[in-house]
Structure 1
Amino acid sequence: MPTSEIQLLFDLGLIVMAAAAFAFIGKVIRVPSLVGYIIAGIFIGPILQWVQIDHSLELISELGIALLLFLVGLELSLKKIRDLGKVGLILGVFQITLTGASAFILATALGVAPIASIFIAGTLTFSSTVVVIKLLDKKGEMRRLYARISVALFLAQDIVIIIALTVLSGLGAEADFELGGIIKNVAAAFGGMTILLLVVLFSARYVLPLPFRWAANSPDTLFIWALCWCFLIVLLAHQFHLSLEIGAFLGGIAIAQLPIHGDLHRRLHPLMTFFIAIFLVTLGIRMEFGHLTTIWPIAISLCAFVLLAKPLIVFFILARMRFSEYTAFQTAIATAQVSEFSFILLALGASAGLISSEIVSLGGLVGILTIAASSYMILYSERLYEMLQATGLLRYFGAIQRPDAEADCKWSNHIVVVGMNALGREIVARLNQNGESVLAIDTDPKKLEGLMPATTIIGNVEYESLVDEFALHKAKLVVSALQIEDVNHLLAYRCRNAGVPCAIHAFDVSMVEDLLDLGTAYLLMPAMDGVVRQRQVMHTEGVIEK
């Protein structure tokens, strides 16, 4: 095996092992894993010099960023934020304008050149969708109002930054910066972007639903098709001379509009966790301390802006929009970091010769510090809110004090039926007739048709995120009609831990003892019931004696 390939495997192995080690250490000392990943990168990179970013690792890193942005796009379902689209638009316009202008003024006042100040302002203005969603998902608050407002804001931000990346892709590495050449290249980039966007929207509406619906009952097929679609759009983006990150992001947004996007997101969640780790570790590895002595005073000032001024701007806007103090505060805290797109913005600016490596290092340092600090702020936002509320400082912003009407968990005292085979569909039909609140779950969308008024979810109950989604702890009963032994055991185990009675399909007599040990309340044994019923009929007809 060539030396370069051995070195690549060695570097990847070190990155993964360092991420795992520092995530474990972080768990022991209660440091967020995202912070641990960044520290791991700094440790094996600038400090120990074990890993250097060479061409091969650069390609792997770029591929990881593309897939990460594909997963970010997959989070942005318009259906989720349909009721908050206007809020996201208004908040986005004012937040981007005020934050960008303030950041530009601050950077200029700190002695940064005007062109570089524009890039610094862009870096500070946008927030990280992937980091915030990861942390809010960990807190179990993705359904809260402030979380949905945050996602709506991030969608507005992402639209703006995609436009900025399109402009930079048009500039490319143009050395002479002649006006005619710049206009031609930028116009070509926007033309390609328009065509790509039309292809994505058309496909999401008319092309993708049928094949993805067909593939939904096969987890492996669905997974491969999603990645195939991602790379197809990346290839189209490359043909139009756009950055691959734009293509990956738009590919994710297209799939996010499909009915199966929730199930696909759950399947890809481990992959997202992996690429977040790779992204943050390589971010730490890229950290250059050569410029540290000159940039650290500016970096501290910019970090203070991101962690304090930027949330204050968002808090002020939401207060003026008549949201409650709590919602405005929690949304504001969620914006206190820079976006993963910001690193791409800086890289493209440097490749176009618009900014120096020192500015890239400055933006990278601010990104690392703010992502690390905001991880704590988001995870402990409740305590932070209580502390500031006790001081009375938040009242000066004029936000209303009464709580906003939260979208309460719609699942309570409901019956969950898993597996829409003949048995499962019959159970759902009978429960519907009895007027029960029924939630039917299956991995195949076709099997969920015709079950009204029951609510249906496409998904696999093996994923804990789906269990959280249908509020297992609030269910009245869980019924599994599945003929998959391992899944039935897992479901029975989770029901026991949640204190919810369950009825499990014991399709084989050998399962009975294990299911009873797991605390199963009811055993569904249609085969055994059929034998008993058959014996009763035969006795009635005089075929056999009692």
Structure 2
Amino acid sequence: MANPASHVSFLPPILTFCGAAAVAVPLFRFVGLSAVLGYLAAGIVIGPSGLRLIGDPESIVTVAELGVVLLLFIVGLELKISHLWSMKRDIFGLGFAQLAVTAFCVGGAAVAIGFTPQAAFVTGIAVALSATAIALQMLGERNDLQTPYGQRSFAILLFQDISVVPILAILPLLASGATTLEDNSLYDRLLKVGEAVGAITAVVLIGRYGLNPFFRILARSGAREVMTASALLVVLGAALLMQEVGLSMAMGAFLAGLLLAESNFRHQLEADIEPFRGTLLGLFFMSVGMSIDLALVRENWVLLALAAPAVIFGKTLLLTILSKLFGATWRDGLRSGILLCPAGEFAFVLLPVGAGLGLITSIDAQLVTALAAITMLLGPIIATVLERVLANHIASEPSPEFENMQTQEGERSSRVLVIGFGRFGQIVNQVLLAQGIDATVIDRDVERIRDAARFGLKVYYGDGMRLDVLRAAGADKAEMICVCTDNPEVTNKIVEIIHENFANARSFVRAYDRIHAVALMKMDVDYQLRESFESAIAFSRAALEELGATTQEAAAAADDVRKRDIARLILQKEGGTMGGAELVVGAKIEPEPLSAPTGKARGLSAETRDILGEGV
């Protein structure tokens, strides 16, 4: 029988990570700094160079890298292929220019201090790459991903992630000795290229034709945990497939997210993945902090003290100039430059590979690794300070691409969020579409989603009572949230979530009946309407017109009833005429005439007269 203690041996490091994050991150956020800095600082403190609470940082790196994988998946979910194509100039133009020019400059500096050409190439590429996780995390914290500078920054990061694949293929060709070239024959290299193309094709075909039916079947089961497990299966499966054929795991996850960006299950998938992404990404940042060897830093502090600022300011200057050449303002170019100045996560991949191939010595690789980690620590600090300076001393002026930015923003977040796509919600959405307002719609009924797809409406699978689903659907940016669900308890729960978390959005709510309408008024919704009231008003108005009343007379009668009903609702809200009936489960309000009757009721049959208590 296994020792019970062996089953909890994994708890101390987990508790260490959680405790370090719980202390460091709130502390850094309290003083106005990025959460990324908190994670990095926590990693330094608990790592081998600090308190040594974690003795082997390498043991968590593989798990921590999953945070970057999940981050790229969510980024892919938020993009459309059409929009990605529209960014091709920034991706392949600005992205390539940034990587090539920066690598050349850094590599030239490395040769100047005594590095071999091969070592200088590895160093230049490793330092030229930027920290995707840090940049996207900071853009998310600022809510700037959809701004012009945020889009350019993302385009550069995307090109860098794509370029890692050919870079890893080039390194063996640079290795000294003929054996490397012999071992990597033309046939072997073509075979690897074929495997990579086949893997990408498989992901595209499965994502295009298989994932929607797969998630539709799972959604019918109604089991949330199965949807979560399946979301992780898709992300990690695509990432593992890419890694097996020599590509980037992050690239596989991004591709999977991109293929699901148009899916009806996008918001639910994003909500399911988000908790794992945040936790693992924090773990990744802590692993970077733990990788900083303070002993090596002390031994080479003069060189690193000169090199780290040179890299940060040099990369910032180069990218600012290149961004300007590609149409950005000086301000946006500076913001992109300082955001992308830290070295990237792939430096920790390229440098060991280069050392293993003999392109760079082990000592030099450790030194460049320390330099990369220091830039990742200092970069966010400088970026935070710069943002404050720009906010305080530079007048806020519209960017030349402001209108384009608004268009892109509109593609991702709607002005209106409609929860519930039944018979009521469908009509609401049709009216909005008639005025060119493309709402985001959430519903849990798979058949409704399929029906909506037939006439071009965008309806996403999700539970409107989940805060994470509402956030993923853009509730924090919506001007109005229409709650069109038909269950009063569900509706009330959603209204409570809206008022607690999305106070800026106006709440328009479908009421089930009069008691529910009064309850919603007490919850201070901006507008409520009983589901059958206006249809009955319209019906009776048409009846009056058919009976000979003029259009004006029928409209006046309908308006009079509507006003009287609103007045009575207000009185009932204050508790005057309902007598507490709304507090009784299943209670009904006895209907009362809004106008004084002109005569006494008469039963027309014996049974009716008996019910009314009339004498025979």
TM-score range, shorter chain: 0.7 to 0.9
Secondary structure (helix, strand or coil) at the match of 1:81 reads helix
Secondary structure (helix, strand or coil) at the match of 2:327 reads coil
Aligned to 2:20: 18
| Alpha-carbon distance between aligned partners in 2 of 1:161 and 1:178, rounded to the nearest angstrom | 20
Aligned to 2:504: 498
Q: Could you tell me which runs of 5 or more consecutive residues in structure 1 were left unpaired when the two chains were aligned.
A: 391-399
Whether 1:208 and 2:214 are equivalent positions in the alignment is: no
2:378 to 365, 373, 379: 373
Secondary structure (helix, strand or coil) at the match of 1:141 reads coil
Whether 1:421 and 2:444 are equivalent positions in the alignment is: no
Deviates further, 475-484 or 319-328:
475-484
1:108-507 residue pairs with structure 2 within 5 A? 108-166=111-169, 177-183=179-185, 186-215=189-218, 219-237=224-242, 240=245, 242=246, 246-247=248-249, 249-258=251-260, 259-260=262-263, 261=266, 263-385=268-390, 405-408=403-406, 409-410=409-410, 415-432=416-433, 435=435, 437=437, 439-444=439-444, 447-448=448-449, 449=452, 456=459, 462-463=466-467, 467=471, 470=474, 475=479, 478-481=482-485, 483=487, 484=490, 485-494=492-501, 497-498=503-504, 500-505=506-511
| Alpha-carbon distance between aligned partners in 1 of 2:332 and 2:120, rounded to the nearest angstrom | 32
Matched letter for residue 179 of structure 1: L
| Alpha-carbon distance between aligned partners in 2 of 1:312 and 1:189, rounded to the nearest angstrom | 38
Matched letter for residue 343 of structure 2: V
TM-score, normalised on structure 1?
0.81
| Alpha-carbon distance between aligned partners in 1 of 2:427 and 2:402, rounded to the nearest angstrom | 41
| Alpha-carbon distance between aligned partners in 2 of 1:347 and 1:443, rounded to the nearest angstrom | 48
Q: Which has more radius of gyration?
A: 2
Shift of 1:128: 2.0
| Alpha-carbon distance between aligned partners in 2 of 1:491 and 1:284, rounded to the nearest angstrom | 38
Q: Deviations over 1:488-525 (max 9, x none)?
A: 32024345x21624325458968964x44532234455
| Alpha-carbon distance between aligned partners in 2 of 1:522 and 1:174, rounded to the nearest angstrom | 74
Do the aligned partners of residues 149 and 458 (structure 1) sit closer, same or farther apart at CA in structure 2, a change above 3 Å counting?
farther
Do the aligned partners of residues 389 and 322 (structure 1) sit closer, same or farther apart at CA in structure 2, a change above 3 Å counting?
same
Shift of 1:339: 1.7
| Alpha-carbon distance between aligned partners in 2 of 1:505 and 1:480, rounded to the nearest angstrom | 8
| Alpha-carbon distance between aligned partners in 2 of 1:424 and 1:533, rounded to the nearest angstrom | 29
| Alpha-carbon distance between aligned partners in 2 of 1:332 and 1:373, rounded to the nearest angstrom | 14
Aligned to 1:101: 104
Contact 1:146 1:330 in 2 (8 A): yes
Q: Deviations over 1:462-500 (max 9, x none)?
A: 4468558647666256334264253332024345x2162
Aligned to 2:40: 38
Shift of 1:96: 1.2
Contact 2:418 2:440 in 1 (8 A): yes
Contact 1:334 1:378 in 2 (8 A): yes
Q: Could you tell me which runs of 5 or more consecutive residues in structure 2 were left unpaired when the two chains were aligned.
A: 537-587, 594-600
Secondary structure (helix, strand or coil) at the match of 2:439 reads strand
Shift of 1:102: 0.5
Do the aligned partners of residues 346 and 505 (structure 1) sit closer, same or farther apart at CA in structure 2, a change above 3 Å counting?
farther
Aligned to 1:396: none
Do the aligned partners of residues 155 and 429 (structure 1) sit closer, same or farther apart at CA in structure 2, a change above 3 Å counting?
same
Secondary structure (helix, strand or coil) at the match of 1:416 reads strand
Matched letter for residue 424 of structure 2: L
Do the aligned partners of residues 288 and 310 (structure 1) sit closer, same or farther apart at CA in structure 2, a change above 3 Å counting?
same
| Alpha-carbon distance between aligned partners in 1 of 2:64 and 2:513, rounded to the nearest angstrom | 43
Do the aligned partners of residues 284 and 425 (structure 1) sit closer, same or farther apart at CA in structure 2, a change above 3 Å counting?
same
Q: Deviations over 1:109-155 (max 9, x none)?
A: 22333333222212211112222111111111221111111111211
Shift of 1:407: 2.1
| Alpha-carbon distance between aligned partners in 2 of 1:15 and 1:301, rounded to the nearest angstrom | 32
Contact 2:148 2:401 in 1 (8 A): no
| Alpha-carbon distance between aligned partners in 1 of 2:476 and 2:370, rounded to the nearest angstrom | 42
Aligned to 1:64: 64
Matched letter for residue 495 of structure 2: N
Contact 1:81 1:151 in 2 (8 A): no
Contact 1:136 1:147 in 2 (8 A): yes
Shift of 1:277: 1.0
Deviates further, 360-369 or 445-454:
445-454
| Alpha-carbon distance between aligned partners in 2 of 1:126 and 1:541, rounded to the nearest angstrom | 87
Do the aligned partners of residues 67 and 25 (structure 1) sit closer, same or farther apart at CA in structure 2, a change above 3 Å counting?
closer
Contact 1:64 1:278 in 2 (8 A): yes
Shift of 1:451: 8.4
Aligned to 1:81: 84
Shift of 1:311: 2.0
| Alpha-carbon distance between aligned partners in 1 of 2:368 and 2:255, rounded to the nearest angstrom | 27
Deviates further, 421-430 or 401-410:
401-410
| Alpha-carbon distance between aligned partners in 2 of 1:115 and 1:174, rounded to the nearest angstrom | 9
Aligned to 2:556: none
Contact 1:39 1:281 in 2 (8 A): yes
Contact 1:233 1:248 in 2 (8 A): no
Shift of 1:372: 2.8
Contact 1:416 1:438 in 2 (8 A): no
Q: Deviations over 1:5-29 (max 9, x none)?
A: 6443211221121112111221222
| Alpha-carbon distance between aligned partners in 2 of 1:97 and 1:540, rounded to the nearest angstrom | 93
Q: Deviations over 1:60-117 (max 9, x none)?
A: 4303313522432441444443322122211012111101111101122223333332
Contact 1:92 1:156 in 2 (8 A): yes
| Alpha-carbon distance between aligned partners in 2 of 1:425 and 1:162, rounded to the nearest angstrom | 47
Matched letter for residue 194 of structure 1: V
Aligned to 1:518: 523
Deviates further, 351-360 or 90-99:
351-360
Contact 2:417 2:481 in 1 (8 A): yes
| Alpha-carbon distance between aligned partners in 1 of 2:400 and 2:528, rounded to the nearest angstrom | 48
| Alpha-carbon distance between aligned partners in 2 of 1:162 and 1:262, rounded to the nearest angstrom | 30
Do the aligned partners of residues 436 and 69 (structure 1) sit closer, same or farther apart at CA in structure 2, a change above 3 Å counting?
closer
Matched letter for residue 500 of structure 2: Y
Contact 2:506 2:526 in 1 (8 A): no
Q: Deviations over 1:232-290 (max 9, x none)?
A: 345545654x37xx245314312322223454234322221111111111222232223
Matched letter for residue 481 of structure 1: T
The share of aligned pairs that are identical, in percent, is 18
| Alpha-carbon distance between aligned partners in 1 of 2:26 and 2:415, rounded to the nearest angstrom | 38
Shift of 1:360: 3.9
Deviates further, 11-20 or 407-416:
407-416
TM-score, normalised on structure 2?
0.73
Contact 2:37 2:381 in 1 (8 A): no
